[in-house]
Every structure is written in structure tokens, then in C-alpha cells.
Structure 1
Amino acid sequence: MIGKLKGKIDSIDDGYFIIDVGGVGYMVYCSGKTMSKLVPDEYAEILVETHVREDHIHLYGFYDMDEKSMFNILQSVKGVGTRMALGILSHLAPVEIQLALSAQDKTMFLSVSGVGKKLADRIITELKDKFPSTGVISPAAMAASAARGGASQAHSSVGMANDAISALANLGISKIDAQNRVQTIIASNPDISINELIRLALKTGASSTI
């Protein structure tokens, strides 16, 4: 089984790319978000999920472990296969999916092409307990994310969302309200800093009360 590929991006096409590893070209399917980070003729290191079937072997690539983990979690839902999972991940970052599940906000999933009301309801019903409202992301997931990136990257989008929600809750804001504010801000500002995220979340609440 292939778990990781490191090589030069040979070409990028609709829904997949080819990575040259030691002269061998591997076709790898991926989400739009992972695709956006790849550049032809430049080197990349891609995490891989290998699916073996009687008639084919497919490789699915991910830029980080958060996306790979969410890819597998989404497929545990009846009606969500590899293509749909990649479609959801092309539209929503893992942290956005976890926030939506925690808040049981199906509108986030309805914004994805191909996801109807029944499937959105099923995703929420079957996965909501994995991300309870008492904590958007598990401590284990945060620790794994920090370990992968080192101390300098401890405030990944995953850990940063939890930190921001915790800070807002300590200021008297309900967890659901805090989750909604953080979700909205991260969706439009994925590279935002933790301090700016909290500042904007507080400002959003103040503006809504005027």
C-alpha cells in the first residue's frame, strides 16, 4: 500500500494530477484545495490513501493529514463515496466541516454541489457525535496536528479554531455563537492569525447588536 509520494508534479488535470517519482508517473485524485497547492514542475510531498478494487487501484492524495482523515470520516456516511468526499473537501476545509458538524449546521453541506437535503441530514446525523459541541476538535487531533508541524505551527487552522472558540467562551459568548463566528471568519480568511480571528469575532458580535 502506498502511504506517501514525494516527487515532481508532472501535470495537473481535472480532478487529478500526475507526480513523477523516480521516473514513474503516479495518477493521483485529489480535492480542489489540494490541487490549488500544486505547481507543475515543482516538487511536492503528498499523503496518499490507496484504494484497491478488483478492476482498479486508485490513489487519492492529500496535502495534510487533516484532509486525509476527514476524507475517510466522510466515507463512513452511507451515500458518500470517494468522489463525493473529494467534492465536499474541495468546497469545505476540514476545520469548516468539523465546525458545521459541531453546530449541526447542514447549510454548509447544502452549499456543496451534489449534496441534497437528505444527504446533508445524514452527514450531520451520522457524524455529529464525532465532534460534539463541547469541543470542535478532539485534543488528540490537535496534538497530532501540532506534532506534525512542530511548535512553530501549533496554531494550525485546526488548533486555532479551538483556541479562538475557547477564548470567546471565556468572554461569555455561547459556544454555538462562537463556533458560528469563527466558522464564518475562517471561511473567508483561511490564513488569518489567532489574534485577528478573535478580534474580528468580537467585532462581529458587537456589530450584530447595534
Structure 2
Amino acid sequence: MIGKLKGIVDEIGDDHVVIDVGGVGYVAHCPARTLSSLPGVGAAVTLFIETYVREDMIRLYGFQTALEREWFRLLQSNVQGVGAKVALSVLSTLTPAELANAIALKDVAMVARAPGVGRKVAERIVTELKSKAPAFAGEAAVTIGLKQELGEGVAPAPVSDAVSALANLGYSRDVAANAIAAALKTAGEGADTGTLIRLGLKELAR
């Protein structure tokens, strides 16, 4: 089983890249974001690989980070009707953090932006991955968890009030939630609304 490829970019296609590893060319199908991040032909590269083995073929899928690969697995193993093609489309459109954010906020429209992903499939992704989004959000896990609480209406009152206050000042709810999440890291979970608003505004002024 191939888990990683480290070699030289030999060719970049519309949906794949060929990596030369010791004279052997490996074809890895990748999300558009991964392909656009690759260096030019002849440059060194490392890809995280998911290997599919079937009776009639062996296919490699390549990703820029291990987190992208985990989302690729997660989408297919937990959401009915999502195969490799749809999972690649989602990851071509959204970064792992953006996908986790959309799931936490129940933003079906955001997920449905991916080509070939209809509203019904997007709804299943948002619903069936709801409990898994924070764990696969990478460094954004704290922020994603807060947004999920806000979406469900179970966030602590000071937090909810602080986000609403920033939203009333003209910031989008998403931006406001990011700022308050950063404020919470500084002030701690017991902070009052006024402190969170003050620190949140400080974050937004950076």
C-alpha cells in the first residue's frame, strides 16, 4: 500500500500528476487545489497518497497534506452517495478548514458550490459529518467547535451575545465568530460579554 510519494514532477494534467520516483512514473489523481499548488515540471514534490486497489485497476489519489487525505477518506466512508469523484470535487472547491466551517455552520450552499454536488448530497455531507467536523478541522478546531455551538444555539450566553454585538456592528457572523473564538483563547471560557467584545474588536483591528 502506497501512503506517500516523494519524487520529481514529471507531468501535470487536468486531474492528475505524474511523479517520477526513482525512474518509475506514478499517476496520482488530485483535487484541483493540490494540482494548482504543485511546483513546475522537474521540481521535487511530496504527496500524501490514498491507494485504491480493485480487481481491474490500482488508482492513486494524491494530496498536499495528510489532513486533506483524511477528509477524502471521511467523506466517502461516512456519507452515502459520496465516492472518490465527489470527494475530489469537494476538496477542489473547499479547503479542509472551509469544509469543516461549512459543516459547523450548516452551510449547505457552501458545500453545494462544488461541481457535481447537488443540494441533497450537500445536505447529507453537512448532516452526517456534523459530529466529526471539529476533529478534522486541524488548527481551526476551536473556532469550528464554537461555530457549531452557535449554529445549534447552545453556545454560552456571553459568547453568543458578543458574536451578535459584532454582527450588529456590520461584521459578518462568520467573521464575528472567528474574532470571538480568538478572544476566548486569550480571555478564557469564563470571560464576560464586554471582555469578549473588546478583545474581539482588537482582533478585528489587526
TM-score (normalizing by structure 2): 0.70
Q: Distance in 2 between matches of 1:35 and 1:182?
A: 32
Aligned to 2:31: 31
1:2-17 alignment runs, 5 A limit: 2-17=2-17
Q: Distance in 2 between matches of 1:31 and 1:47?
A: 12
For the structure 1 residues 61 and 182, does the alpha-carbon distance in structure 2 shift closer, same or farther, using more than 3 Å as the test? farther
Aligned to 1:113: 115
Q: Cα offset for 1:20?
A: 0.1
Aligned to 1:70: 71
1:69-108 alignment runs, 5 A limit: 69-76=70-77, 77-108=79-110
1:51-62 alignment runs, 5 A limit: 51-62=52-63
Are the counterparts in 1 of residues 46 and 64 from structure 2 also a CA contact under 8 Å?
Answer: yes
Aligned to 1:21: 21
**Any gaps of 5 or more consecutive residues in structure 2?**
147-157, 180-199
Are the counterparts in 2 of residues 47 and 61 from structure 1 also a CA contact under 8 Å?
Answer: yes
Aligned to 1:152: none
Aligned to 2:142: 162
Are the counterparts in 2 of residues 164 and 182 from structure 1 also a CA contact under 8 Å?
Answer: no
Q: Cα offset for 1:116?
A: 1.1
Are the counterparts in 2 of residues 51 and 59 from structure 1 also a CA contact under 8 Å?
Answer: yes
Q: Cα offset for 1:165?
A: 8.1
- Local SS of the residue matching 1:118: helix
Amino acid at match of 2:30: C
Alignment root-mean-square deviation, CA: 3.1
1:42-57 alignment runs, 5 A limit: 42-57=43-58
Higher Rg of the two aligned structures: 2
Matched, 1:181 2:161: no
**Any gaps of 5 or more consecutive residues in structure 1?**
132-136, 143-157, 186-197, 204-210
Q: Distance in 1 between matches of 2:36 and 2:202?
A: 27
For the structure 1 residues 163 and 113, does the alpha-carbon distance in structure 2 shift closer, same or farther, using more than 3 Å as the test? closer
Q: Identity over the aligned pairs, expressed in percent?
A: 40
Q: How many residues align?
A: 166
1:156-205, CA deviations, whole angstroms, 9 ceiling, x for partnerless residues?
xx415736986x9499226xx787227999xxxxxxxxxxxx769747xx
Moved over 3 A (4+): 160-166, 168-171, 182-185, 198-203
Q: Cα offset for 1:130?
A: 1.4
Are the counterparts in 2 of residues 182 and 201 from structure 1 also a CA contact under 8 Å?
Answer: no
Are the counterparts in 1 of residues 101 and 144 from structure 2 also a CA contact under 8 Å?
Answer: no
Amino acid at match of 1:52: V
1:118-137 alignment runs, 5 A limit: 118-131=120-133, 137=134
- Please say which of residues 73-82 and 51-60 is displaced more in the overlay: 73-82
